[in-house]
Structure 1
Amino acid sequence: MPDKPSKARTLNQYLDPYPYFGRLREVGRVVRIQTTFAGEGWLITRHEDAQRLAGDPRLSVDAHHAGPELQSRLAEFKFRFVDCLPETMLVMDPPEHTRLRRMVAKEFTPRRMSGLAPYIEETVHRLLDPLPADGTTDLVPALAEQLPTMVISRLLGLGEEEAAHLRPLVSVLTELPVDSEVAARVETARDAVWGYLSRVVEEKRRQPDEGLLSALVSAHDDEGRLTDTELTSMAGLLFAGGAETTTQMIGSGLLLLLRHPDQAAKLVDSPELIPSTVDELLRYESPVTLGLIRYAVEDITIDGVTIPRGDLVFVGVASANHDPRCFPEPERLDVARPNNPHLAFGHGPHYCLGAPLARLELQVVFTTLLRRYPHLSLACHPGEVPWRSSALRGPASLPVRLGPRAAATAR
């Protein structure tokens, strides 16, 4: 039976949300839910619908399509990440989105991505080398937070000092402003990030280098160059997207492997499974838990339930990725899972432009860690691992015991 619009279900996405999503999938293909940051909205629960609707033009990423009541609610939480970086692809529909994505995509090339592989591997070793083999090490600050920031900074043409300055500020932007104190912190971080990136863009204009940001400063198409606002927003989007989501995925992926030592053992014996492992970890524990944010441009009816024009809609990534109609035994982690059409990177026109880079980083991290430390283990009970309270899901810390280093990896 489809859910009645009058009933809203409250979601706590920071604990284990998957049993909850499982119940909602059985309630209906679209369900009314209650969020902490925007009141009520609709959740698309099943994979087939989520994949189809992720690129449906009846659902917009532009909040100007929100109805008056929703606009008022969103105004109370105006310091959202997408509002911190105006004029980005995140909040644009075609044709504006098409123009920006085309200009970035022609510079965000496979050659640039593959050229980063040696640097990524060298950086992983450099971060792991000082860590003690005995005792407890927290891999979130030691590895997960540092590596993606360093990689995306190198790609953009930013120095490591600039990266170290930006990373904690950008991390604040993903916090959910559930009270005035958090909202004030996000506002301060927003102003600092915008001012800093504006200065960086101007420096790249005066002194260009081989980085992606300099290439974007000089990029143009038939409609002209990117504006200063578009450039600054794009720099922030690429930095945040390249750093924050991959940080959470490194932590979540490592935790999953440590919770499933039989699957980790398969990778030690069969490293060729690493690519399929990355997709399975992305499916099982995506950083985007609730879903892709959309606004109904017109009334949409699904399974007898009508989503009114102007309402908030979440294309449920995590729920879809655990849908047994698409994934046999979805709660079983299978590093060799075939045919894995997960939605962790989205789908359709807004499919994540940085997906190849994220996959590369994750493959190098898991390969290197398991090769160096085949006896890597969790230093606490899995239930004691704290999770971040933000728009992106991931462990706040990950205490591990590295164990003895494999002799073959000594450098």
Structure 2
Amino acid sequence: MTLHEPVPAPDPDTLPDPVPLIGCPYKSNPYPLYERMREDGPVHRVLFPSGVTAWLVTGYDAAHAALNDERLGKDHDRGNDRWRARASIMPEPQHSQLQVHLLHQDPPRHTRMRRFVTDAFTPRRVENLRPRFQELADSLVDALPATGPADLVADFAALFPFQVLAEVIGLPPELAARFDRDWGKVVQPVGPSDPGRPRYETRLHGLQSYITEVVAHKRAHWDDDLLSRLVAARDRRELSQEELDSMIFQLLVAGQEPVTNQITTALIALFRHPDQLARLCAEPGLLPRAVEELLRYDGAFELTTWRFFDQDSDLYGTEVPAGDSVIVSLSAANRDPRRFPGPDTLDLDRSPNPHLAFGHGIHFCPGAALARAELDIALGTLLARLPGLRLAIGDEDIEWIPAVLGRGAGRLPVGYDRRL
């Protein structure tokens, strides 16, 4: 894995300021660093690969409080010039047209926009759709080689969540077939001077054109689905064009890529704990509880998106300037020993398990019920139909994605005895 040049090891007794969240060792296993940060205090100044500095919240209690802190807003207009110089890397006009989604809004605008999507992701609706989701998972496994090997990202994890999402939001098959997963990489920061900038902008323009086509199609072929209702809300002037495009952008990217990544982190955790893998294969009834523990143990939403104070403020004893970005480490909070006994142990019997993998407060992930169902079906299907499922590469050869806020593997070569 080549994300950046390795960062020199810090003094073992002193955390640097800022703490660099950069390099292969960090992306491969961030938890030892998070442990050191928690022990040193709940808030640290950190440095991201793009050069952005931010304030990272690490402990469970502090994270839970920050996620509910009304002083911390999500609107990018709150960001100061220091933050904007390096963090607002999506160029205009795309930034104004595609970044007006729920993750970047505060009440009352956030409240108004969120009400348009919640009905599509209710636990009852998800449960009613489970038989269809199971059909999709089984069809993908049917297409795998009879005896392996296979790449479970390219052949399953990158496909299943998008197929499910298309069913849930009403993306027609002809458009779903043309979605390029590469477009999802527009959420991975590429600065203006980065050699990869031209390719980044090509992805961005491709995705924007696709969204325009989706809107035109749903306007011409209205149905009782989420995408049609969003387009109708725009036509009634209940949403602006920028809000509509941004919400579709969020659905297409945030609605499926994190589940792809979570399937990989869950499988890797089980491969690293063969006793737990064997137990889950033997006792499939453990799956709902196991899903919760796998979300806690190594979540795909490693860090939240930006939050900002609108004035200089105290954050758990640290003075944070107005407009500096504040980020909550969900992964660090979920390994806090003050909340989870034996936090570095994968315990499929853990209960209660109040993890923060989907956030908390008004920005709690509206698709949490869907994501849980997808993980349950994906893991249950793979373990039941691929006996002897195992990692086909060395643990050190796992390729972790270079996303700043997310966590997952780009490839997952596996072997298995046969396909049932």
Tell me the TM-score normalized by structure 2: 0.89
Report the CA distance between 1:300 and its aligned residue. Answer: 2.7
| 1:134 aligned to which of 127, 130, 147 | 147
Q: CA RMSD in A?
A: 2.5
1:190 and 2:200 correspond: no
Matched residue, 1:366: 379
User: Which segment drifts farther, 6-15 or 88-97?
Assistant: 6-15
CA 1:174–1:69 in structure 2 vs 1: closer, same or farther (change >3 Å)? Answer: closer
Deviation beyond 3 Å, 4+ runs, structure 1: 75-79, 81-84, 106-112
| 2:63 aligned to which of 44, 50, 53 | 50
| 1:35 aligned to which of 48, 53, 57 | 48
CA 1:317–1:66 in structure 2 vs 1: closer, same or farther (change >3 Å)? Answer: same
Q: Which amino acid aligns with 1:8?
A: P
Report the CA distance between 1:383 and its aligned residue. Answer: 1.7
Once the two structures are superposed, residues 130-176 of structure 1 have per-residue CA deviations (whole angstroms, 9 ceiling, x without a partner) of 22243421101000000011111122222344224324243221322
Q: Which amino acid aligns with 1:277?
A: A
Report if the CA contact (8 A) 1:55-1:349 is conserved: yes
Once the two structures are superposed, residues 249-284 of structure 1 have per-residue CA deviations (whole angstroms, 9 ceiling, x without a partner) of 111111111111111122122212111111111111
Alignment of 1:246-285 (within 5 A): 246-285=259-298
Report the CA distance between 1:220 and its aligned residue. Answer: 8.2
- Partner of 2:327, secondary structure, is strand
1:7 and 2:21 correspond: no
- Show structure 1 runs of 5+ residues with no match: 407-411
Q: Which amino acid aligns with 2:325?
A: L
Report the CA distance between 1:108 and its aligned residue. Answer: 3.6
Once the two structures are superposed, residues 79-122 of structure 1 have per-residue CA deviations (whole angstroms, 9 ceiling, x without a partner) of 9x976723211111011000000122134434432232111111
Q: Which amino acid aligns with 1:11?
A: L
Matched residue, 1:212: 226
Alignment coverage as a number of residue pairs: 402
Tell me, in whole angstroms, the C-alpha distance in 2 between the residues paired with 1:254 and 1:165.
28
Tell me, in whole angstroms, the C-alpha distance in 2 between the residues paired with 1:220 and 1:205.
10
Once the two structures are superposed, residues 369-394 of structure 1 have per-residue CA deviations (whole angstroms, 9 ceiling, x without a partner) of 11112321111222211111123211
Once the two structures are aligned, what percentage of the paired residues are identical?
A: 38
- Show structure 2 runs of 5+ residues with no match: 1-13
| 1:117 aligned to which of 120, 130, 144 | 130
Tell me, in whole angstroms, the C-alpha distance in 1 between the residues paired with 2:383 and 2:15.
48
CA 1:277–1:341 in structure 2 vs 1: closer, same or farther (change >3 Å)? Answer: same
Tell me, in whole angstroms, the C-alpha distance in 2 between the residues paired with 1:19 and 1:82.
35
Report the CA distance between 1:243 and its aligned residue. Answer: 1.2
Tell me, in whole angstroms, the C-alpha distance in 1 between the residues paired with 2:202 and 2:90.
14
Report if the CA contact (8 A) 1:387-1:394 is conserved: yes
Report if the CA contact (8 A) 2:122-2:369 is conserved: no
Alignment of 1:3-402 (within 5 A): 7-12=17-22, 13-75=26-88, 85-178=98-191, 179-219=193-233, 224-391=237-404, 392-402=406-416
User: Which segment drifts farther, 10-19 or 120-129?
Assistant: 10-19
Once the two structures are superposed, residues 325-360 of structure 1 have per-residue CA deviations (whole angstroms, 9 ceiling, x without a partner) of 111111111122111111111111000011111100
Report if the CA contact (8 A) 1:84-1:190 is conserved: no
- Partner of 1:190, secondary structure, is helix
Tell me, in whole angstroms, the C-alpha distance in 1 between the residues paired with 2:50 and 2:72.
20
CA 1:330–1:20 in structure 2 vs 1: closer, same or farther (change >3 Å)? Answer: same
Report the CA distance between 1:304 and its aligned residue. Answer: 2.7
Matched residue, 2:6: none
Tell me, in whole angstroms, the C-alpha distance in 2 between the residues paired with 1:82 and 1:164.
26
CA 1:159–1:103 in structure 2 vs 1: closer, same or farther (change >3 Å)? Answer: closer
Tell me, in whole angstroms, the C-alpha distance in 1 between the residues paired with 2:66 and 2:350.
25
- Partner of 1:31, secondary structure, is strand
CA 1:133–1:232 in structure 2 vs 1: closer, same or farther (change >3 Å)? Answer: same
Tell me the TM-score normalized by structure 1: 0.91
CA 1:283–1:78 in structure 2 vs 1: closer, same or farther (change >3 Å)? Answer: farther
Report if the CA contact (8 A) 1:169-1:193 is conserved: no
- Partner of 1:165, secondary structure, is coil
Tell me, in whole angstroms, the C-alpha distance in 1 between the residues paired with 2:380 and 2:231.
35
